[in-house]
Homo-oligomer: A and B are copies of this chain.
Amino acid sequence: MAVIAIIAQGAMGAGIGRRLSGKGATVLTSLAGRSAASAQRAAAAGMRDATAAGLAGADIFLSILPPAEAKACAAWLAPALEAAPRKAIYVDCNAVSPATAAEVAAILAPTGAAFVDGGIIGGPPREDGYTPVLYVAGPEAERLGPLRDHGLDVRVTPGPVGAASALKMSYAGITKGLVALSSAMMLAATRAGAAEGFRAELARSQPELLAWFGRMVPPMPDKAYRWVGEMEEIADFTGAEAAEIYQAIAGFYEGMAADQAGTREKAAALTAFLKDPA
């Protein structure tokens, strides 16, 4: 029975913790300084509180955080890893650029712990059996069998450390980028009084895209605040060729998050646009 450590207890971290504990793994986390809501989510997911030393001595450590916190997590755990006689394999699962993943690896290198680059495609595991894919890359990536044994879909993607992060960035750049573009155009068409004609034309000539928007856009407003940092990582990933596009998309999601914290007018306009007139 494997011991898996997870930081932190957000929707994805707790969802993965629950899947692993439900399939027989011992799942550890750190609740030091965390909110009561986090402690409740952790308890519901079968995650037990542990010290940094406890986490560092697990079989596998999963970093599942907002991208801006990826490096701080490594720096926080590094002393405990350095001191641990038997060191957890450190898996950075965050939506970060390959350059950020390399910085995380560099922070951990002096500890002697093995490092695996990861990226998650999909939403949190669900009770109905749905499981996202955890892509992993690098020379130690084959050592994550215990995660598979406890119900995760772990796939090694070809390439060095950074390849799984690059896959995640590319994928999110298209999917979350398209959610931004389509939302911006639905809002602009609505303001211009052209929503009805625009929707009819999408239904006529791009029915697959319209159906995709119907699935992907409505959940966005509640998640927009989390996507800002991810878009900034994608800007870092693309380099000069498209960095400004993704910086601007980060700004769009900041605007969506502000609207969602306020009047929610934009979310209402998107819902109205996507409502099937039939």
Residues of A participating in the B interface, judged by any CB pair closer than 8 Å: 98, 121-122, 133, 135, 137, 157-160, 162-164, 166-167, 169-171, 173-175, 177-178, 180-182, 184-189, 191-194, 196-198, 201-202, 205-206, 208-209, 212, 237-239, 241-242, 244-245, 247-249, 251-252, 255
Contact = CB atoms under 8 A, between A and B. Distances in A.
Contact of A181 (B174, B185, B196, B198): B174
Copy total for this chain: 2
Give the 5 A-B residue pairs with the shortest CB-CB distance, closest first. Answer: A157-B197, A166-B192, A166-B194, A184-B242, A244-B248
Contact of A201 (B133, B192, B193, B212): B133
B248 A245 contact: yes
A133 B206 CA distance: 14
Nearest to A197: B157
10 contacts: A121-B201, A122-B205, A166-B189, A170-B192, A171-B201, A177-B178, A177-B185, A178-B178, A184-B245, A191-B239
B245 A181 contact: yes
B188 A237 contact: yes
B205 A188 contact: no
Contact of A194 (B159, B175, B182, B212): B159
A146 to B, nearest CB: 22
Given A174-B185, A182-B174, A196 B242 contact: no
A187 B158 CA distance: 17
